[in-house]
Structure 1
Amino acid sequence: MANKPTAQSHFGKKIVIDSYKFDSQKEAQFYTDYLRGKGLDFEVHPRFVLQESFERAGLKFRQLVYTPDFLVRDDQGIQHIFDIKNGFNAYGIDTAAQLRFKLLTLKTGVPVEVVVMRKGYFWSKIMGTTKPTEQKKRFRANYKPEFERESLWLV
């Protein structure tokens, strides 16, 4: 029986636009449609250390790092952390990714918003909450969030 493909086994072609290197066509599309030329403060592939390296029982364990696709700050200081995926199901988001989303939210106070691109708009959703969140249709990257954000972390 053949192995089923997973999202991790289908890496997209790397694309360079405006000196930014994107992991997929969908990431590049998000950049060109919603960030480039919009006057927003953003970072592409910011790096967050979720857990420092440590030693136990004579062994050294690596640090745990998460690199979302985009960090966007609007003119009022509202931050959005976006991770572009193919869908909201287990094929698009594996359990390891969901754990990284939770750990980053715990560390920063800003939940990771999973983005699924469509032509002319995108869907966004916060995964792994105890109260189910609806996926929302978005037309710009600097919308006011429906939920309160903690200010545990500032860049």
Structure 2
Amino acid sequence: MSGFENFQVNSFEQLCINVANEHLQYYFNEHIFLQEEQDYRTENVSSDKVEFQNNEDLIDLFMGTLGIFALLDEESRFPKANDESLVQKFHIHCKNHVRYIRPRGNETAFGIHHYAGKVVYDARGFLEKNRDNLSANLIECMEKSGIELISYLFTINDDTSSTPDTVLSSS
């Protein structure tokens, strides 16, 4: 599958790329197969049902309330959290998901059955990469932006009279 990645060592970046590809696959399935079938039914056109693998459950594994990204964000807020505690949290909350894999013998690994195949991720560095902050120079540049909304979004201001709505409506 084009764009899908599975390397010897798969880290945070590969996870993000593969999740984006899962979203694209879901969009393709939803808008090509399901919409076409619905259009055919609406127009009373007979057609063969197209069989495809629905990956909605996988999107939920990543994006759900207790999905991988929610758990990653939650664990990133704990100062004493580490990559092993993150993976343990994945193992606890995702263990019953049919697409989740718990590899044996590696405290920092977890696997996913993607639409394009099985990928084992090495979670070393996940927390640090998820906590990655913008550089002070970039924040300063955004604060000085000539675009009022961007400047507002990057300026810490105790004045509550200016909200995103007032910034947008004054543009």
- What's the TM-score, normalizing by structure 1? 0.26
Q: Which has the larger radius of gyration?
A: 2
More helix by share: 2
More strand by share: 1
- What's the TM-score, normalizing by structure 2? 0.25
Q: With a CA cutoff of 8 Å and minimum separation of 6, indicate the structure with the bigger relative contact order.
A: 2
